[in-house]
Chains A and B, each alone.
Chain A
Amino acid sequence: MFQVIGGRSVQAARVLAPRSAVLVEAVRGRKSRTDPVAKSKVGRIKVPPPVDPEEMVVLKERYGEYQMIMRALRLEARQEAQEHRVLMDLNHLENQRMLKLRIVRVQKEKEEADRKKFEVILQREQEQQEIVKEKEKEILQLQEDAKNFITLENLDQRIEEALDNPKNYNFAIDKQGKVVKQTMLQ
């Protein structure tokens, strides 16, 4: 029952007043099965706490009720858990379905966008080509006109020609729009 102690707790315990030479402290459960009963406990008969019969009846009833309610609650919880699992599975399936649909839709939209881009590019290229054609036409026109230009070599010849062929630019027009080119030339 008592155990010898030493160390730091010794100083404190010394102050708390042991009369014995050796310091001891109480430790639980030191006796083994074969040890004899202590002298102070020789005639002891252990008696359980007294039970009030009326209280016992009331208690039994209360316990019965309690256990019934607990059983019902457990069942309800179980059912709820199962329902929850079913719903989660349904939700999962739904998500999968929506995912598939979404993938298809996104694919289609991407293709549409690509096609549109391609079309725009084609349009631009066509416009470029038309511009190029126009420019070429202008160049050809210019080349054609260049044949009639007056250069240093042609200068004298053209002056002679102009002086030889006087051109009359005068004309008359009346309110009805009739043009008259024949005029008096000096």
Chain B
Amino acid sequence: FAAPKASFSAVLLSASCDAASLLLKKYHGGYVVLRFALAGHKQANRPFYRIVAAYNKRARDGKYLEQLGSYDPLPNISNEKLVSLNFDRIKYWIGCGAHTTKPVAKLLGLAGFFPLHPMTITDAERQRAQTELTATGTEDGLREGRKEAEV
């Protein structure tokens, strides 16, 4: 984490994160996830996601525990995709033992809060290999075309 640690040396308590959430855990019987939920803007072909802490078995857009940020998948005028993250609360939920979905993990990795996800690196490498292949392919094609033209 980028945030500094507390310098106070405390006795570690074995109690769980939330006293109230134990009851809820018994009721839900599941775990908490940080995931994307579509914000219901009721407009076709214009998605907008909220980064949300919710119980695992809840509907994707259903009742959540807390909103921890947002993600706009469509780029704006300056060709930016806007993301907002509440790092303080994210850290709290991770401390409470929340899981993350893959896209949220990748996003947090890109943000620098988590380490970079392996698939981000792998996909980038694959894409670079692909572009190099097509570049060399076009070069060869151009060279062949020029040779044919000369010949």
Contact = CB atoms under 8 A, between A and B. Distances in A.
Contacts of B8: 83, 86-87
Interface of A: 55, 58-59, 62-63, 65-66, 69-70, 73-74, 76-87
Nearest to B118: A62
Contact of A85 (B13, B94, B118): B13
Contacts, number: 59
B118 A63 contact: yes
B133 to A, nearest CB: 14
Interface string B1-38: 10001101011110001000000000000000000000
6 contacts: A59-B118, A62-B122, A73-B114, A74-B94, A80-B95, A85-B13
Contacts of A58: 122
Interface of B: 1, 5-6, 8, 10-13, 17, 91-92, 94-97, 114-115, 117-118, 121-122
A65 to B, nearest CB: 8
B10 A81 contact: no
B91 A80 contact: yes
Of B95, B114, B122, the most chain A CB neighbours within 10 A belong to B95
